Amino acid sequence: MKKLLFSLTTASVLLMTACTKSTNKQQNIVDFVTGNPNFTLLTQALTKAELVSTVQNGRGITVFAPDNDAFARAGISAATITALDKVALANILAYHVVPAEVVSGQIASGSSMAATLAGTNRLNLSNFGSGIFVNGNTRVKDPNYAFTNGTVHVVDNVIMPPAGNIVAIASANPNLSLLVQAVVRCNLAGVLNGAGPFTVYAPTNDAFIRAGFTSAAITNATPATISTLTNVLLFHVLPQRAFTTDLPGTTMPVTSFGGRTLNVVNGIALRGPGNLNARSAVTIPNIAATNGVVHVIDQVLLP
């Protein structure tokens, strides 16, 4: 098995020994999964992807294991697994495996990144007192099962690896075509294609149209309008990776890429100074990208 570097940010690691569940430490992770009726879909997926021996022979690994309910929540059935391409399925499963042991007590308050077996794609681990979340959408619901070759955390969703960088993800969504058009018109695609990390609050086409930025208006924009639109777009970008679980609390001010303050409310609603008291809701949160994260919102934010 290819050896990959595991890393957690220094601020997110406690140098302490955490308690693990009282389990049969003579049992391998694969023995636990394949012998448990709650993991029949994970067992099927590992078999289809030919990863059983990889997990079985791994040493000191951590598996974020989706149970059957998690697969159902993600809309993945036994028939879906059968139909999935083996390589694509293997990439999804490898994204659930960290090549180092991580128990919940090692994850201090805050957010950290962990390398996985899925190439350069890493997991974001958030711990802000309400529990441990992976990439914002996935909750660790039953942590710290200890086995001979590592640790298992049971999670409530299937964790999908990033489908590309922020520009690629937006370009693949037809409901974000005006955002992509505006980004290109304002010469910001090069910025968002960069290494980041960035967080982009992505207004839908309807949101742009309500704000007066139709396709024709963007195409025919004057230099003054382009300058205004550029400032508006930069107000939707944070120079950091922020999943909804990374911005807890009633109201949290954050600084946008344009240097203006954006107020995030409970991680899922936003206010801009130009929006007065109107909130923009996050309608699709936590879309992981290779260089950050995208949240789809229902209103253009005005600085």
Rounded distance between C-alpha atoms, residue 235 and residue 270, angstroms: 11
Contact of 191 with 182, CB cutoff 8 Å: no
Helix axes 86-94, 40-48, angle to 10 degrees: 120
Q: What percent of the chain has pLDDT over 70?
A: 88
Report pTM. 0.84
Q: What is the pLDDT of residue 218?
A: 94
Q: How confident is the model at residue 274 (pLDDT cuts 50, 70, 90)?
A: confident
Taking only the tens place, the pLDDT of each residue in 167-207 is: 999 999 999 999 999 999 999 999 999 888 999 999 999 99
Q: Name which of 200, 249, 95, 107 is nearest 157 in CA terms.
A: 95
Using DSSP, state whether 180 is helix, strand or coil.
Answer: helix
Q: Are 126 and 136 in contact (CB under 8 A)?
A: yes
Instruction: Tell me: pLDDT of 27 over 90.
Output: no
User: Model confidence over 56-74: pLDDT tens digits?
Assistant: 988 999 999 999 999 999 9
At position 127, the amino acid (one-letter code) is N
pLDDT for 4 beyond 60: no
Q: Residue 224, Cβ neighbours under 10 Å: how many?
A: 8
Separation between Cα atoms, residue 133 and residue 245, nearest integer Å? 7
Q: How confident is the model over 72-107, as pLDDT tens digits? A: 999 999 999 999 999 999 999 999 999 998 888 877
Structure tokens at 96: 């659930």
For the cut 60, the answer to whether the pLDDT of residue 278 exceeds it is: yes
Higher-confidence residue: 108 or 125?
Answer: 125
Contact of 30 with 70, CB cutoff 8 Å: no
**Cis before 197 (ω within 30):** yes
Instruction: Determine contact, residues 210/301, Cβ cutoff 8 Å.
Output: no
pLDDT of residue 250: 58
Q: What is the reported pLDDT for 269? A: 76
Domains recognised in the chain with CATH numbers = 10-155 (2.30.180.10), 166-297 (2.30.180.10)
pLDDT tops 90 at residue 7: no
Neighbours of 218 (CB within 10 A): 20
Residue 291 pLDDT more than 80? Answer: yes
